[in-house]
Amino acid sequence: MIDQDLFRAVLGRFATGVTVVTTRDADGTPHGMTVSAFSSLSLDPPLVLVCVANNATMAPLMATAEHFAVNVLSSTQEAVSRRFAGVVHDRFAGIGFHEGRNGAPVLDEVLAWLQCRIVARHPSGDHVIVIGEVEHAEVGDGKPLLYYRGGYATLER
């Protein structure tokens, strides 16, 4: 089996976009977390996946939620990413957002966003792979926020 430190070092060489995945609990309270383990899965039907750690505060919510949104962060939103990655009582305090068509919060000024209906969950290792069918999406302008070798980066293009 590969050493965990080497595994992290190798995966750290893979630059990823940064997203905030959002949903609402049964009382309608918005919740979100920073996620770099996000990927497209299928064009027909349009499917995406997010990987949620079993010990994440959002894990119980994503286990019962019917919908979620993926907010693709722009290069100007590092502070937003840090906020949703940290231990904060109300991650949405002071953050602009609106309710998407499926009820999941959509953050203001993101590069793009997708609203998804959960169609499958697959426990795997210390995570759950949550698959969502994209029901609505929008794109904006700007450059993406990237995560590379344990830190934030931007695309120079």
The two tokens of residue 80 are 């937003």
* Residue 88, pLDDT score: 86
**Residue 50's pLDDT is what?**
98
Residue type, 79: A
Question: Residue type for 1, please?
Answer: M
Q: Could you count the other beta carbons within 10 Å of the beta carbon of residue 110?
A: 23
| Averaged pLDDT of the chain | 94
Segment 57-81 shows an average pLDDT of: 96
Q: How far is it between the farthest Cα atoms of the chain?
A: 45
38 DSSP β-pair partners: 50
Q: Residue 121 maps to which CATH number?
A: 2.30.110.10
Give the domain extent around 74.
4-149
pLDDT of residue 157: 65
Name residue, tokens 């929008």: 138
Q: What is the pLDDT of residue 21?
A: 98
Placement of tokens 């290792």 in the chain: 125
Residue 155 lies in a domain: no
Q: What is the mean pLDDT of residues 35-54?
A: 96
Average pLDDT over every residue of 84-107:
94
- pLDDT tier at 13 (50, 70, 90 boundaries)? confident
pLDDT > 90? residue 128? yes
Over 90: is that where the pLDDT of 156 sits? no
- Number of domains within the chain: 1
**Is residue 154 one of the residues assigned to a domain?**
no
Give mean pLDDT, residues 150-154. 85
Instruction: Please check whether residue 66 lies inside any domain of the structure.
Output: yes
Would residue 156 count as lying in a domain? no
In a domain, residue 138? The reply is: yes
Say if 73 falls within a structural domain.
Answer: yes
Residue 111's φ and ψ, nearest 5 degrees, are -70, -35
- Dihedral of CA 8/12/17/20: which sign? positive
